[in-house]
Amino acid sequence: MSRQRVAVIFGGRSGEHEVSVVSAQSVMAALDPARWDVVPIGVTKQGAWLAEAATREALARGDRAFSGAGTLLTSRDALEALAGCDVAFPLVHGTYGEDGTMQGFLELAGLPYAGAGVAASAIGMDKALMKGLFREAGIPVAPYAVLRSWEVEGDEQTARDYLEQAIGYPCFVKPANGGSSVGITHVRSREDLTVAFEAAFNYDDKAVVEQAVVGREVECSVLGNEYPEASITGEIVPDRDFYDYESKYSNESTTALHIPARISEAVSDRVRELAVRMYQVMGCEGYARVDFFVTDEDEVIANEVNTIPGFTSISMYPKLWEATGLAYSDLLTRILELAFARHGRRSRR
């Protein structure tokens, strides 16, 4: 079989730019060179798309931030490179990459791409929409509320009173659209709310306030289109108050990963069952990581679905599949094969 050209798109304008670059470097290093001809396309923090040569030059000099003003529409060289590819592997975390906008562009371009489609990506990025969908489907979620920035700015006292009645303390305030725990604050009392609101609204006009759940943080990787499969489960034990950005990505982090998760077989089966159910309810295809809380009473509570999970060397998604028996390189090939399969199915309409 001749090699196929895969565009790995990464970077982007969100607060997860650097994480995206690390994910992409890991993926590009692991893609089977006998099967794939990798074309890296970096997206600057200003929104310009870099052609292959400029992207490789930036990576070679250790410039993970990239540089260059402009937009997708002014990035002719990058668009020409993309047009010469057979499939895309978008790894732009957060807004303008994981929220359906990148997927919509690739749909318009008629290019097969890895991961969830437009609708599932948009829902997966918006925690308020996602949790509402899960609750409607009968999937257990923690009590939560949604606030807009102008509601808080207009009358913060009323917002505080509402949250205390609806959610209480402790709770978490987080941007509705975001990832990698950016902008999330653990709120223990009324005095913490002002700072929490500021942190969340720095990234989005909509915030989700969720009741804190005491329990294990358990994750499951899902893979597939029409007939998705779940990996074994894994457990995260953060090295601090909660699994924040530094706990996830800092070189000094001592966060522990337990694979398999330290839960009973029955609870693990429940997690895997719910993971596939959540994946299907959202309309996901390709791949996604699904996160849960498991209480001391073995109650499984859905947290969220990540449609472009981290793919760094320490990320849970590939680690769970590796422990299930699917090697990293083979996993990437499978994800790209699923992209071709979906594109072919949709093209037959």
Ordered domains of the chain (ranges, CATH): 4-113 (3.40.50.20), 124-139+214-347 (3.30.470.20), 144-211 (3.30.1490.20)
- The confidence score (pLDDT) of residue 243 equals 46
For tokens 């978008």, the residue is 90
Cβ-proximal residues to 256 (8 Å cutoff; 6+ apart), any chain: 236, 237, 239
pTM of the model: 0.91
The first and second tokens of residue 78, run together, are 């990058």
Reference 246, options 19, 10, 7; nearest CA is: 19
Residues 216-267: tens digit of each pLDDT: 999 999 999 999 999 999 999 976 554 444 544 445 556 789 999 999 999 9
Q: Which of 67-71, 86-90, 227-231, 339-343 has the lowest mean pLDDT?
A: 67-71
The Cα 149–Cα 166 span in angstroms is 18
Answer yes or no: are the C-beta atoms of 49 and 58 closer than 8 Å: no
Angle (CA) 71 75 77, round 5°: 170
Residues 92-146: tens digit of each pLDDT: 998 899 999 999 999 999 999 999 999 999 999 999 999 999 999 999 999 999 9
The Cα 146–Cα 72 span in angstroms is 32
Most confident of the following: 68-77, 195-204, 233-242: 195-204
Q: What is the mean pLDDT of residues 34-48?
A: 95
Q: Which residues of 301-317 are buried (b: 16+ CB within 10 A; e: fewer)?
A: bbbbbbbbbbbbeebbb
Q: Answer yes or no: is pLDDT of 90 > 90.
A: yes
Q: Answer yes or no: is pLDDT of 48 > 80.
A: yes
Using a 10 angstrom Cβ sphere, with 0-12 exposed, 13-18 middle and 19 or more buried, the burial of residue 95 is: buried
